[in-house]
Amino acid sequence: NAGVTQTPKFQVLKTGQSMTLQCAQDMNHEYMSWYRQDPGMGLRLIHYSVGAGITDQGEVPNGYNVSRSTTEDFPLRLLSAAPSQTSVYFCASTDGTGLETQYFGPGTRLLVL
Amino acid sequence: EDQVTQSPEALRLQEGESSSLNCSYTVSGLRGLFWYRQDPGKGPEFLFTLYSAGEEKEKERLKATLTKKESFLHITAPKPEDSATYLCAVQAGSNYQLIWGAGTKLIIKP
């Protein structure tokens, strides 16, 4: 199993540009989520999904969209990039919404100029 | 407001020098406390889940303990390969979203 994969690994955007961060998992997990990680702060939840066709907002959803058309894929879209969105983005999946282990991808480092 | 605080922010130890990392939390109705390890440039990797005060779990040189207000990650006779950032997270009440601490960066010098 590849686990959780993310692409790209690194991206530079100009303010106002849009892009999609890709996330895929091959563990047949229902629950997937997107986090951002900033220096000196804990991981913050952006959006999550409890199954195909179902998504919801986390703690910091503004400026981001998600969709979940399949169990495997959970892309994160930046609508109009801003310097405040410079961060490292992690996708995670788990086999439930309870106390199960979360499996993280390797991350996407995004720089918005 | 639910909160998770980790201390210290960074810890430098000599190889073999045992110490502890702290994760203090203020939440209503703790359901579980998680420890993850994060290596530079990688995603967090699961270490332990603790469910109730008094519980302890061990893995190699690491031992996690839990009280009603905090958790400790004890590292015994650490090696350079234990160098990483250690993250703590809690799940509380009916909200299954995790609340994460900012992490402790552990550096073990040979």
Blockwise average pLDDT, block size 10, chain A, 113 residues: 93 97 96 94 93 93 97 97 98 80 95 98
State how far residue A37 is from chain B, nearest Cα, in angstroms: 9
- Residues B32-52 as b/e (b if ≥16 CB within 10 A, e otherwise) read bbbbbbbeeeebbeebbbbee
Burial A7-42 (b: 16+ CB within 10 A, else e): eeeebebeeeeeeebebbbeeebbbbbbbbbeeeeb
pLDDT of residue A99: 67
* A14 near B CB under 8 A: no
Cβ–Cβ < 8 Å for B12, B109: yes
DSSP state of A101: P
The whole-number pLDDT of residue A103 equals 94
Q: Which residue has the tokens 């922010």?
A: B9
Q: Which of B104, B90, B83 is nearest to B40 (CA)?
A: B83
Listed residue (B63, B67, B9) closest to B33, CA to CA: B67
**In Å, how far are A29, A50, A81, B36 from A12, measured between CA atoms?**
30, 30, 10, 28
For the stretch B57-103, pLDDT in tens is 999 999 999 999 999 999 999 999 999 999 999 998 776 788 999 99
- Predicted local distance difference test score (pLDDT) of residue A52: 94
Are A42 and B43 inside 8 Å of each other by CB?
no
Q: What pLDDT was estimated at residue B6? A: 98
CB pairs under 8 A between A and B: 50
Q: What is the 3-state secondary structure (H, E, C) of B25-88?
A: EECCCEEEEEEEEECCCCCCEEEEEECCCCCEEEECCEEEEECCCEEEEEECCCCHHHCEEEEE
Q: Which of A102, A103, A108, A109 to mutate to test the interface with B (most CBs of B within 10 A)?
A: A102
- Closest residue in B to A101 (Cα) is B46
Confidence (pLDDT) at A87: 98
The residue among B79, B86, B80, B81 whose CA lies nearest residue B9 is B86
A39: which residues sit within 8 A by CB, 6+ positions away? none
Task: Note whether A104 contacts B45, CB cutoff 8 Å.
Answer: yes
Residues B4-37: tens digit of each pLDDT: 999 999 999 999 999 999 999 998 888 999 999 9
Nearest Cα of chain B lies from the Cα of A82 at a distance, in angstroms, of 23
Q: What is the pLDDT of residue A97?
A: 63
Contact assessment for residue B75 and residue B60, using Cβ atoms and an 8 Å cutoff: no
| pLDDT given at position A95 | 82
